[in-house]
Structure 1
Amino acid sequence: MDVFQHINHARMVTLLEEARIPWLLTPDRPTAALGAGAVVVDMHVRYRGQLRHSDGPLTVDMWVDRLRSADWTIGYEVRARDANIATPPAVTATIQLAAFDIDTQRLRRLTAAERDYLQHYVRS
């Protein structure tokens, strides 16, 4: 908690990352290779309500907001523990990621398997 008695911004960004990593990088998923090369391109976090440590563990809902050939954007909604999905989220965020080839230091296209996996999470 920060001096204003709510979860600190840097910690919130870390919580979003901690939700994203197992979803994308579990070894048996087609997106596991992204662990060797994916970069954050853009991030927007909007605070709509206060969250305190006593609200945890927090619920983080994620989906693919946009999917393109080399990048995708993840949408997030963060709510207090046990909050109904109809409850407005306390935090909304979008994070754009891009597939990246570490060896060449260049963006790469998503593989067909990566795209297919991510496509299942596109919110219409």
Structure 2
Amino acid sequence: MDSYGHVNNCEVVRIIEEARMRWLMTSGVFDGETAVVAAHEIGYLRPLQYSLDPVNVEVWTSNVRRSSFEFNFRVLNNARQVSVKAVSRMVMFDLVKQEAYAMSPRLREHLAAASGERL
């Protein structure tokens, strides 16, 4: 929380990270795959007030390509208004070879099925 009582911008990145990881882990198709964050775009539309209630985050994909894709996030406040819009560009990445690789057809299908318009 910052000095104004709002959720700090670093915490917003943690919120979208948590939403991304939960989305990936619940799908089951990401097992054995590795993707790293190549870029974040974050727009703050209204303050996100600290609350004991969990924050709601809408998540979907866009721009699914050979070795990259995007996650789109809308972080909602307690009044269900959009407080934050964010996009994270992900790249499939081999940690041993230190290079990008083409995602599996199964993963591409799953990401494409959850794909929508980019924020």
Same fold at TM > 0.5: yes
Answer whether contact 1:61 1:77 (CA < 8 A) is retained: yes
- C-alpha separation between the residues in 1 aligned to 2:111 and 2:40? 18
User: Runs in 1 of length 4+ with deviation above 3 angstroms?
Assistant: none
Structure 2 unmatched runs, 5+: none
Aligned to 1:61: 58
Structure 1 unmatched runs, 5+: none
Q: TM-score, normalised by structure 2?
A: 0.90
Aligned to 1:22: 22
TM-superposed CA distance for 1:66, in Å, is 1.2
Aligned to 1:41: 38
SS of residue matched to 1:69: coil
CA RMSD of aligned residues (A): 1.6
- C-alpha separation between the residues in 2 aligned to 1:43 and 1:55? 26
- How many residues were matched structurally? 117
Give the % identical residues.
26
Alpha carbons of structure 1 residues 56 and 50: separation in structure 2 relative to 1, 3 Å: farther
Aligned to 1:9: 9
Q: TM-score, normalised by structure 1?
A: 0.87
Aligned to 2:97: 104
TM-superposed CA distance for 1:55, in Å, is 7.2
Answer whether contact 1:61 1:78 (CA < 8 A) is retained: yes
- Mapping 1:53-92, distance limit 5 Å: 53-54=50-51, 56-81=53-78, 83=80, 87=81, 89-92=82-85
2:88 to 76, 85, 95: 95
SS of residue matched to 1:15: helix
The structure with the largest helix share of the pair is: 1
